[in-house]
Amino acid sequence: MFHGRDAHVTGDFARAPLISRAAAVLLCAALRCTAAETPILPPFPAAAEIRAGEATLPAEAAPDGLRLPVRFDGPHERVYWDIPLPARIPKTATALQLTLSCTDAAPIRGLSIHLQSGKGWYNASPAFTSGQRRRLDLPRGIFQPEGRPGPWKKSHTLRISAWKQSAGTTLITLNAASARTDAVAIVRASDTTAPGETALADALTDRCVRLLAKADIPCTVIDDSLDALDPYTLLLLPYSPTLPSRQLSRLTRFVDRNGRIIVFYNASPQLAASLGLRPGTWQGSEPAQPWSALICDPSRLPGAPARVPHVTTSIIPPSVRPGTDARVVATWADDTGRNTDIPACALTPRGVWFAHVPPLAYPSAAALMNTLARSLCPNLGLAPLPPPAAPAPLPAATVANEMRAAWNPLPTARHPRGWRGLLDQLAAHRVNTLFVHWQSAATPLYTQSGRRASVDTLAEALTAADRHKTALHAWVTCWTLEGAAPALITRLTREDRLMRDAAGNTLPWLCPSLPENRVLLIDSLRTLARRGVAGIHLDYVRYPETTGCYAPATRKAFEAARGQPVAAWPADVLPGGALAAPFAEFRRATMTTFIRELRAALRDAAPEVSLSAAVFPTPAAAAAHGQAWPEWLRDGLIDFACPMIYTESPADFNAQLAACLAAAPADKLVPGLGSGADECQFDAVTAALQIAETRRRRLAGFAFFAVDDELTGSLLPTLFPAP
């Protein structure tokens, strides 16, 4: 999930009339060498001065800070404390930094941090994990205004809110709070520099924040007015595709004054020229043959990782201007993993240019960013990332025939030696099951054509898998039409067979209330099951949260199920409406009907083929999307479930696993581990801890999301060394 909005940061010294320009430059350089901290707490106010919210226990003074007791035993979803700040936030501050301790975060779904100023608040929701003295970095730009707040620097109250995950008690200790003045800033685009794409810009900004945090580079977030850049040494533009002349001029002046920039996925000739580069023309990959990774050149960037996973179908590769010190330090790997020599990243003395958006925060991506920042800005004083920690030895498997699986997001092998090479590689590291994305809605994806001849990837994979007895499951995205054939989408739209939101807008999802849509999916899955796969693995077997479905077919089916009409559609069935609860149950029943019909069809067509589903991990969250997966397991409609527990937090992983085990038997659960999910890219230590937990609880196995260079090149060799 993504959050955060624009912010505006200023630097006082740039306007100080009594400081000469030369002195100001020297002061600027001194400030930019490192992130400076100004303590705010302690001293802590007396406990009596701290206001506890409704159903919240009072704060308690302690030698190590301020103790905030958390107790969730009633209907309240939140507890909070309002803490007066004894000191103002400095005008030059670019971030708030909290140090918190919480040894058991199982009852807590998350934290939100508020700052009160004037007649409103600033709100941020940082990622939070359990542990001793964990640092929360809160760049000013991720705070969202609520009401009509005054200036951020005049905030006088800090509110810490804990949100309920489950009933229970725990203790949060606020050890310290400080204001930080950063030398590195990430530019969050608005409609000015990313017109019509601010949601994407927000997501990529937050991705960049996460990436720099893992790279151990303190940073803040600023808006794209770019009107106060003097405090900064390094700027990152994660997504600013449309740069007006004013922003271009300010960026050019910033570079001319010895500032440095890192630019992602941009086509501006003027900005590229200021770095000694030229942006190339946009390139798209062949269908189903995306670029798969950045291959780094250690001779041009010493200390860089060998490869960084990054899958994309579109790039704007930079080229080096003759006579400059610019150099290409990374190139693209194609969908088979081979080097294409197409530039992916160029480094110059003045900046870095990436051919696509920021990569996910893999350990290798963090290492690349750390290396680039140290090469580009040695005066920042950044330390190299320490070598990866070695995980503790894994305990032995606790169940016979443990499933050690991975999801392969494409229908192709993405290996230089094709399916044989990939399956040899996975088998050498003890992966015995592979879910391969071979169907989207009713569109088969296993017949591929493009720069190579048309091939049946399913037939190739089955032949290769037989060498190692690897179980291949056909991974199918069910109701979403993402990846479906354009002709099919056109026909289904014309026939009014898609979901609709509450406003009546068509959604790119099949409406499951229509029997003909269920038949369409079931017929295609019956055909797929007869190809010889070990299983059919369902994904997106749900509704898109509360946005669907409110189509006429859904209304007709719901009214038929109730035996009476709905007076106000869709108002009565929306969250909070008079019929919200029965409508939620109707959605679950509709999805269960599809599973039941599919199970019967597969028993007739291919009784030896298993049926499984990727599901939301907590039953309550799953039920809100129409997934009654504990019921599916109980009634034998699916053979196992893969709860997608994509988190790097041991406490969150254990809490979600416990919720799954309270709803279903251990031998029917194969949790998904987030090695390369959008919200989670963990290292080998975290992977080992999660695998050990699945084995301690005697689960049926585990599955990595997803097959990429990080999994095959780093995680698996570390966790399961080849014999």
Q: What pLDDT, on the 0 to 100 scale, is given for residue 33?
A: 43
**What single-letter amino acid sits at 136?**
L
Span 26-48, pLDDT tens digits: 223 333 345 688 999 999 999 89
CATH code of the domain occupying 404-548+581-719: 3.20.20.80
371-410 pLDDT, tens per residue? 999 999 999 999 999 999 999 999 999 999 999 999 999 9
User: Is the pLDDT confidence value at 702 over 80?
Assistant: yes
Superfamily of domain 183-380: Class I glutamine amidotransferase (GATase) domain (3.40.50.880)
Give the tokens for residue 497.
Answer: 């067979």
Please, are residues 100 and 65 in contact by the beta-carbon 8 Å criterion?
no
Model confidence at 129, in pLDDT bands (50, 70, 90)?
Answer: confident
- Kindly write down the DSSP assignment for every residue of 254-309, as one continuous string: HHHTT-EEEEES---HHHHHHTTEEE---EEPBTTB-EEEEEE-TTTSTT--SEEE
- Asked if 622 and 661 count as a contact pair (C-beta separation under 8 A), the reply is no
The 3-state secondary structure of 617-651 reads: CCHHHHHHCCCCHHHHHHCCCCCEEEEEECCCCHH
Residue 529 structure tokens: 């099951």
Answer yes or no: are the C-beta atoms of 157 and 132 closer than 8 Å: no
Query: What digits encode the pLDDT tens for the residues 448-476?
Result: 655 455 678 999 999 999 999 999 999 99
Under 8 Å CB-to-CB from 48, ≥6 apart: which residues? Answer: none
- The model carries a pTM of 0.86
Percent of the chain with pLDDT over 90: 81
What percentage of the chain has pLDDT greater than the value 70? 94
Closest CA to 330 of 313, 315, 339, 260: 339
Mean pLDDT of 80-99: 92
The stretch 471-493 carries a mean pLDDT of 94
| pLDDT score recorded for residue 239 | 98
- Note whether 647 and 686 are within 8 A (CB): no
* pLDDT tens per residue across span 143-179: 999 999 999 989 999 999 999 988 899 999 999 999 9
Q: Is the pLDDT of residue 49 over 60?
A: yes
Q: Residue 179 corresponds to which tokens in the numbers above?
A: 């204001």
83 CB-near residues (< 8 Å, 6+ apart): 41, 44, 45, 50, 59, 66, 157, 158, 159, 160, 174
When pLDDT is averaged across residues 660-666 and rounded to a whole number, the result is 97
**Cβ neighbours, 10 Å, residue 681:** 26
Task: Using the predicted structure, report yes or no on whether residue 8 has a pLDDT greater than 50.
Answer: no
Q: What is the pLDDT of residues 235-276, one digit of tens each?
A: 999 999 999 999 999 999 999 999 999 999 999 999 999 999
In this prediction, residues 294-323 reach a mean pLDDT of 96
Sign of CA pseudo-dihedral 47, 49, 50, 52: positive
Identify the pLDDT of residue 128.
Answer: 79
Three-state SS annotation for 12-25: HHHHCCCCCHHHHH
The single-letter DSSP state of residue 359 is P
Residue 7 predicted with pLDDT over 60: no
Residue 449's pLDDT is: 55
Residues in the chain: 723
Mean pLDDT, to the nearest integer, of 99-119? 90
Q: Provide the pLDDT for residue 27.
A: 28
Give pLDDT tens digits for 514-538.
999 999 999 999 999 999 999 999 9
pLDDT given for residue 261 in this prediction: 98
What pLDDT, on the 0 to 100 scale, is given for residue 448?
Answer: 65
Gap between the Cα atoms of 69 and 59, Å rounded:
7
Mean pLDDT of the chain: 91
Per-residue model confidence (pLDDT) at position 167:
87
Residue spans per domain, the chain:
36-179, 183-380, 404-548+581-719
End-to-end CA distance of the chain: 40
Superfamily covering domain 36-179:
Galactose-binding lectin (2.60.120.430)
Whether the pLDDT of residue 431 is over 80: the answer is yes
Q: What is the pLDDT of residue 165?
A: 80
Cβ pair 311, 299 in contact under 8 A: no
CA within 13 Å, CB half, 579? 18
Beta-ladder partners of 131: 102
